[in-house]
Structure 1
Amino acid sequence: MVQFRDAVSAYKALNGLICVYKPPCVPVKQVMHIVKTNLCRDLNALPGRPIEKRVEIVGSTTEPMQVKLVPNYADNPLVCGPRYINDDIRCSWATHLGLFSSGVLLLGINEGTRITYKINVGRPTRAFKVHGQLGKATDTYFWNGRTMERSTFHHITREKMDKVVAHMQAAHQKTMFEQSGLQMDSQQTYELASQGLIRPADNKLPVIYGMKCVYFNPPNFTLEIQSVNEYDKYLWTLIHDLGVQLKSTAYCTAVQCIRQGKFDVDLALLRKHWSLEHIAYNMNMCQEILDENERLLKPESAILSA
C-alpha cells in the first residue's frame, strides 16, 4: 500500500485513473462526491505545510524597534478551515453507469480527467452480467416497474434458452452490418471484420458483439453481454424481448458491469476501500494497464454509419 509522509506530496500524486465498483442505486455523481470527500478527509489528516509567519514590528517609535516573525493565525486550519476541500479535486467518469446498474466504473482524478475523455472517445467494449426472471412482465422491463402480465415458464429449457440467445446475437450482428450498408457475404465486410471489432459511427447506436446464457435456474437466469454504446434501459429491453421469443415473459432484476476494456471487477475498489492509500495504489495499477494498452487512449476509427 502507498504511504505518504505529508499532504502536499500526496496531493501531487493524485493525477491519474482509478477503477471503482459502483454499488446499485447510487448515482455516479454521488460516487464521485464520496471519493472526493474521502480524499479530502485523508489529505487533511496528514501533516500539512508549515503555518506561514507574519512580520511584526514592536517597540516604541522613539526608540529602536524590533522585528519579529510570529505565527500567522489567519493561516491556521482552525481559523481558515481545512487545507483541502472537494473543489480542489477534479473528477470525471469515462463511461456512465445507470442508477440501478453496478460494477466497474472508471474515474479520472485531477489530470486523469484527460484520460477519461480519451477513453470515452475510444469507446472500449464493456461486458455485463444481466440478470433476469421469467414469468412476469413490467411496464419498465425492470423489477421496480408495475406488473403488466404473468405467464408460465415451465416449458422453457436450457436448450431453448441457448437457441434463442444465439438467434438474438446473430440478429443484432446482422442489423449492425445492414445499417452500414454492407452485405454479409461481401469481401469488403470480411476485410473490415478481420481488422477487429467494428464500431458504429454514431456513438448513440448500441451494438451487441456477444451474448450467451451463463446461468439458468428457472425462473432465474443470467446473460453475459459484450457491447458498446449500450445503456441500462437497452439491456432491460433485451431481457423483455428474450421472454417474448421464448413464448413467455421476462423482466430484468439486475445489471452488473464486469469489465470495461482491460479493467475488470478484480481491479475495482469496493466502497470500503475508497481511501487515499487504496486509491493511490489502484491508480498505479491502472497506469500500468494503460501503459501496456496504449490503444485505449486512441480514438477508434468509426466504420459503421448511423
Structure 2
Amino acid sequence: MSRRVELFRCLQGLLSVYKPPGQEIAQFRSRLAKKIANEFNKLPWETERIRTRVLTKSDDVKLPSIATEIDFVDNPLVIGRRFLHGDVVLNFIDPLPDYASGLQLIGVGEVGAYAYSDAIHRNVYPKSYHLIGMFGHASSNNLSTGSIIYRSPWKHITRPKIDRIIASLQFKARSASLLQAGLIPNSQKAFEALSNPDRLT
C-alpha cells in the first residue's frame, strides 16, 4: 500500500468545483484546501519503520553490534496531523467574482497550478455567463444581497425595449468573444467565425 506522502505527491492536475454565490475566493480556497488536507489525514497511517543502529564500544576490542529499534518519526502521536491546508497548492484559473456562482477550474499541485494553468490561459477559452435580474429594485451593492434603496414602477418596460437591450448585450458579448478568441474585428477570419457561431461558444 502506498504511503500517504506518496499519494499526496501524486495530487497533480485540474479540479472543477462548484462555487456557491456570495462566497469570497480566499474563503473558498481555504475551505477546499482544509477539506483536501483532512481527507488525506484520514488515510491509514504509515507502517512503523525499523531503524538500524551500529553500537560501538571504544573500551572493547569486539566487533560493533547492530541494534534495531522502532522509528517514531511517522507516528501520529509525534508529528500530529501530517497534512495542513497550507501544504495544498491551489491556483484558481480565472476566478469567479464573489457574487457569482458556477464551475470554478482549479490547478492542483505544482504541475496543475503552473503548467496546466498557463496552458489554459494561453488558449483563452471563452466563458459563458447567465445573468439574473429584477425590475423596479435598486440595492446598495447592485446585488440581491444588498438592502433595497430604491423602488420604481416598471410597467413602462415593454418587450421591444427588452429586446433592444438584449441585442446590445449580445453584440457586446460577441465583440468580447472575438477579442478573447484572438480575432481582429472586420477581418476575414472574424467573418468566418461569426458565420459559424458554434466556433465561439
TM-score of the aligned structures, taking structure 1 as reference length = 0.51
- Do 1:5 and 1:47's aligned partners in 2 also have CA atoms closer than 8 Å? no
| Cα distance, 1:18–1:174 mapped onto 2, change above 3 Å | closer
Q: Separation in 2 of the partners of 1:160 and 1:170?
A: 16
Q: 1:116 deviation in Å?
A: 1.8
CA contact (8 A) 1:6 1:46 kept: no
Distance in 1 between residues matched to 2:53 and 2:3, nearest whole Å: 29
Corresponding residue for residue 12 of structure 2? 15
Aligned to 2:132, what secondary structure does the other structure show?
A: strand
What does 1:272-287 align with in structure 2 at a 5 Å threshold? none
Q: Which residue of 2 aligns with 1:69?
A: 68
What secondary structure is seen at the aligned counterpart in 2 of 1:43? Answer: helix
SS at match of 1:131: coil
- Cα RMSD of the aligned pairs, angstroms, is 3.5
Q: Percent identity?
A: 24
SS of match in other structure, 2:130 = strand
Larger Rg: 2
Tell me the distance in 1 between the aligned counterparts of 2:61 and 2:177: 90
Identify which of 34, 38, 44 aligns with 2:35. Answer: 38
Alignment-derived partner of residue 113 in structure 2: 113
Deviation at 1:17, TM superposition (A): 0.3
Report if the CA contact (8 A) 2:138-2:150 is conserved: yes
Q: Which has the larger strand fraction? A: 1
Whether the aligned pair in 1 keeps the contact of 2:14 and 2:105 (CA below 8 Å) is yes
Q: Distance in 1 between matches of 2:21 and 2:176?
A: 31
Aligned-residue offset at 1:102: 1.0
* 1:163 paired residue number: 164
Instruction: Tell me, yes or no, if the aligned pair for 2:18 and 2:102 is still in contact at 8 Å.
Output: yes
Q: Quick one: distance in 2 between partners of 1:161 and 1:76?
A: 66
The superposition leaves residues 134-188 of structure 1 with CA deviations (integer Å, 9 ceiling, x where unpaired) of 01223432234454432112333445423331134336657999xxxxx9xxxx7
Letter of the 1:122 partner, please give it.
N
Gaps of 5+ in 1: 178-182, 198-208, 210-226, 228-260, 262-306
Match of 2:181 in 1: none
Residue 34 (structure 1) shift: 2.1
> 1:11 and 1:70 mapped to 2: Cα distance?
28
TM-score normalised by L of structure 2? 0.73
Matching residue's letter, 2:166:
V
2-structure distance, mates of 1:10, 1:175: 42
1:277: which partner in 2? none
| Residue pair 1:135, 1:151 contacting (<8 A) in 2 also | yes
1:195 to 1:90, Cα distance in 2 relative to 1, 3 A: farther
1:53 lines up with 2:54 in the alignment? no
Counterparts of 2:176 and 2:70, CA distance in 1:
72
Instruction: Tell me, in whole angstroms, the C-alpha distance in 2 between the residues paired with 1:75 and 1:170.
Output: 60
- 2-side partners of 1:11 and 1:176: how far apart? 38
Once residues 150 and 11 of structure 2 are traced to their aligned partners in structure 1, the CA distance between those partners, rounded to angstroms, is 51
For 1:175 and 1:124, the matched residues in 2 are separated by: 12
Q: Aligned AA for 1:71?
A: I
Instruction: Quote the offset at 1:83 in angstroms.
Output: 2.5
Is the Cα–Cα contact under 8 Å of residues 43 and 84 in structure 1 kept in the other structure?
yes
Aligned residues, how many?
188
Q: Does 2:97 correspond to 1:102? A: no
Against the structure 1 CA distance between its residues 189 and 72, is the aligned structure 2 distance closer, same or farther, given a 3 Å change threshold?
Answer: same
Q: How does 1:285-296 map to 2 (within 5 A)?
A: none
* Residues 26 and 148 of structure 1, relative CA distance in 2, 3 Å threshold: closer
**Structure 2 unaligned residues grouped into runs of 5+:** 179-183
The equivalences for 1:1-306 within 5 A come to 6-56=3-53, 62=60, 66-110=65-109, 111-114=111-114, 115-145=116-146, 147-170=148-171, 189-194=186-191, 196=193
Distance in 1 between residues matched to 2:48 and 2:149, nearest whole Å:
66
> Quick one: distance in 2 between partners of 1:43 and 1:194?
51
